[in-house]
Amino acid sequence: TQGSVDFPTVEFEYGDADSRGAELAELYSYTEEPELSTNRRCFEEEFCPQARGRQWSELDTAQQRAQVLRLLEGLEVVSRERRLRAARAILYLAQGVFGDCESEGDVLHWSRHNSFLLYQLGTFSAFLELLSMEIDNSQACSSALRKPAISLADSTELRVLLSVMYLLVENIRVELETDPPEWKSCRETFRTELSFPMRSDEPFALLLFTMVTKFCSGHAPHFPMKKVLLLLWKVLLFTLGGFEALQMMKVRRREELGLPPLPEDSIQVMRSMRAASPPTCSIELAEQQQKRGHRSRRVRPLMKQDSLDIYNERDPFKNDETGVDEEEGDEVDGGIEGELDLMERDALLPTIPAQRPPIERVSFPKGLPWAPKVRQKDIEHFLEASRNKFIVDLGLVEPSRAGLKLSSLKEKEGIPPLPPHLPPLQIALLKILLAAAPTSKAKTDSINILADVLPEEMPITVLQSMKLGIDVNRHKEIIVKSISALLLLLLKHFKLNHIYQLEYVSQHLVFANCIPLILKFFNQNIMSYITAKNSISVLDYPHCTVHELPELTAESLEAGDNNQFCWRNLFSCINLLRILNKLTKWKHSRTMMLVVFKSAPILKRALKVKQAMMQLYVLKLLKIQTKYLGRQWRKSNMKTMSAIYQKVRHRMNDDWAYGNDIDARPWDFQAEECTLRASIEAFNSRRYDKPQDSEFAPVDNCLQSVLGQRLELPEDFHYSYELWLEREVFSQPIRWEELLRYQ
């Protein structure tokens, strides 16, 4: 568009996580760099005297196992300092014994090898017990509460324990083609142990949930939240499965229920879509013809009405990036007369003289990328309207039958309950996300998420201040990345498990103001956030462990790396958009929240990021609210409307482009949420809070449990007890053949 900046197309591959090296590097802050040499020194001091002077790679498997067992014994001593030294030595092993390596690849190789070795010898269980002790350390909590400023030193033990556990989970989680068979079986065993209690009363993920809620309640401000959130995300990704695993679960479940296979894989379709600016409308062809004097009719410029088109005219960020908004640079963009259909455009093309250069045609794709979908509710409305119109019984079509079959089968199968403290966890995650958002202003009552990145002694030089500033911004970006991925993963798995579990979690997120929080996150210069340079590559693990650190200067810190964009920030933006889509899909009340909070200009600015997946989820959010934005907005944003038509899936009786706001009845929205809440509570009561005499109560088939139950006997039972035994037990013959047959 004239007057706008042409942003390059972003070549981004969306997946469960970044590369293994990048994910391991984000575990450490730049302030923790001196501790790497401390870990190495502890390992060398704890190394067995018989093996000193030899590299770790020179030891055979038996010798390596003996060294690990020797270090694990050091975790059981009484001295707190002695336990910390042994834990640091084990952390050095998990970090890849970088002192013996010459390249980054060697460090990653030995980190992975040692992680499997440590897990097989029971290291994770030992560190889990130490973590439980450290969480309940009231002395450390009270000491942190009394301090006016909490620093990196207040969470030393916790950071060491969490780092070892994270390295084990991440290294074992990632599956490579070169893995030996014993590693594959070890991975499955580890996944099972993480899913169920390990020497404790609850699964490991719930222990991490407890740490998050305890931190946000103010009882443990020294907890290193970045490491906790990263570990929590990777544990859920490991145990529940990522996006590919979710797709396989969908396919397998549909096969089990006898439903037709899925027509497409959504992520694969999005990867094949090409990112671009909003498509060129036919109005631009008319403008070219007008400039050359070959217009058959004049297009009148549209006079915008301020009372209707507030979303374009009152855009506070209209000039901060491009000087002119993406679609407001055209004087006649969006006019009714300027919107030529394909027939009119083709009729105008032959009138151009031959000596003139031909007008460049707009190439439209053949067909749309998505297969159309239909809901059971849409089919029922269509059938009801058809019956009323033609007085004929059309019956249910196949998609509706499939939906009914799926619903009935889900009602019959057992649904595992949700954790009881899940709503407080969601509120805690949103509080941390708010504190880490770039648009948030520091407040006195906000939680401190920088406790595990600030050094004991604050910087005194400009260079140190710049380095710490980059570290703090990077720290916040990693927190946003982990929370966004964590929430999205929970929503997708709850939806696959049971729709009411998804609605339960979604409604709590909405009530906790998740929708305005995400919009607040996007109400920034999104291109600057996507291309942020908050990283110092020479300080990243494992680069800093095998290369000499060059002299850092202010110029080198300002330059940053040479990457086109920041992977984690783009990943976070897509995750937050997907969460927003899941919260608002088919919910008119939540769609109206998007309108009330004026999300249209905020979302339109996000279209400047030329990445297909991000553009798609932005267009989805714009599509669901176009009917509520008014006719004038649609006329003034025809490029966006064309992009929605070309990229977003269409559905049966979809009136997004021409529907009026007749459905926007505010008095119905509160009733909609109340009805949903009642359905959720009825589901929870039926599944989890039901009485024992309910017909839905599960049958107890355990012999010991049944015989161990105390039954209320009638008062006269002891009078006839002996007669009952004689008649029902002693006088009855025992048919041993039948008894053995049923064993």
Q: Is the pLDDT of residue 7 over 80?
A: no
Q: What pLDDT is stored for residue 695 in this prediction?
A: 57
Whether 287 is in a domain gets the answer: no
Q: Concatenated DSSP letters for 627-659?
A: HHH-HHHHHHTHHHHHHHHHHSPPBTT--TTT-
Q: What mean pLDDT do residues 464-468 have?
A: 93
Question: In this predicted model, what pLDDT tens digit does every residue of 294-306 receive, in sequence order?
Answer: 433 333 333 333 3
Identify whether 265 is part of a domain. Answer: no
> DSSP secondary structure string, 26-89?
TTS-GGGHHHHHHHHHHHHHHS-GGGTTS-GGGS-HHHHHHHHHHHHHGGGSS-HHHHHHHHHH
Asked whether residue 622 falls in the same domain as residue 562, the answer is no
| For residue 76, pLDDT beyond 60 | yes
Residue 207 placed within a domain: yes
546-553, Cβ contacts within 8 angstroms, sequence gap of 24 or more = 546/98, 546/101, 546/102, 546/103, 546/104, 546/106, 546/107, 552/463, 552/467, 553/463
Q: Minimal CA–CA distance to 321: which of 656, 1, 684, 729?
A: 1
Q: Which of 609, 598, 616 is nearest to 312 (CA)?
A: 598
pLDDT one-digit tens code per residue, 513-534: 999 999 999 999 999 999 999 9
Average pLDDT estimate for 404-408? 46
Q: Which residues contact 705 (CB under 8 A, 6 or more apart)?
A: none
State mean pLDDT over 730-743: 70
Shared domain check, 574 and 676 = yes
Are 604 and 520 found together in one domain?
no
In a shared domain, residues 517 and 587: no
Question: Does 400 map to a domain?
Answer: no
Considering the domain architecture, whether residues 651 and 691 belong to the same structural domain is answered as: no
The pLDDT score that the predictor gives to residue 329 is 35
Domain that holds residue 653: 569-684
Q: Is the pLDDT of residue 107 over 90?
A: yes
Please tell me whether residue 437 adopts helix, strand or coil conformation. Answer: coil
Q: What angle is formed at CA 398 by the lines to CA 396 and CA 401, rounded to 5 degrees?
A: 65
Which pLDDT does position 725 carry in this prediction? 83
Average per-residue pLDDT in the chain? Answer: 79
Q: Which two tokens stand for residue 388?
A: 């009323």
Please give the Cα distance from 36 to 568 (Å, whole number).
Answer: 24
pLDDT-derived band at 24, boundaries 50, 70, 90: very high
Count of Cβ atoms closer than 10 Å to residue 23 Cβ: 20
Task: Assess whether 108 and 235 both reside in one domain.
Answer: yes
Q: Which of 568, 592, 618 is where one domain is finished? A: 568
Q: ∠ CA 131-132-133 to the nearest 5 degrees? A: 90
The pLDDT confidence band at residue 659, using thresholds 50, 70 and 90, is low
Number of folded domains that form the chain:
3
Same domain, 489 and 630: no
Identify the pLDDT of residue 19: 94
Task: Mark whether 563 and 709 lie in a shared domain.
Answer: no
Average pLDDT over residues 70-79: 92
**Residue 20: partners with Cβ closer than 8 Å, 6 or more residues away:** 108, 170, 171, 174
Given 568, 584, 602, the domain boundary residue is: 568
Residue 272, Cβ neighbours under 10 Å: how many?
9
Does residue 642 share a domain with residue 689?
no
Q: Stretch 174-201: mean pLDDT, rounded?
A: 84
Residue 274 has a pLDDT of 65
Query: Is 525 within a domain?
Result: yes
Residue 162 lies in a domain: yes
Q: Is residue 294, in this structure, part of any structural domain at all? A: no
* 93, 116: one domain: yes
pLDDT at 148: 84
Nearest to 420 by CA among 361, 504, 351: 504
Residue 123 forms part of a structural domain: yes
- Among 14-18, 312-316, 455-459, 726-730, the range scoring the smallest mean pLDDT is 312-316
In terms of residues, how long is the chain?
Answer: 743
> Mind listing the pLDDT tens digit for each residue in 25-36?
999 999 999 999
pLDDT at 705 over 50: yes
The verdict on 481 and 429 lying in the same domain is: yes
Q: Are residues 552 and 580 in the same domain?
A: no
* 367-380 average pLDDT score: 74
Q: What is the mean pLDDT of residues 443-450?
A: 76
Confidence at 101, pLDDT banded by 50, 70, 90? very high
How sure is the predictor about 198, in pLDDT bands with cuts at 50, 70 and 90? low
**Final residue in a domain of this structure, among 646, 667, 684:** 684
Q: Examine the pLDDT at 131 and tell me if it is beyond 80.
A: yes
| % the chain with pLDDT above 90 | 47
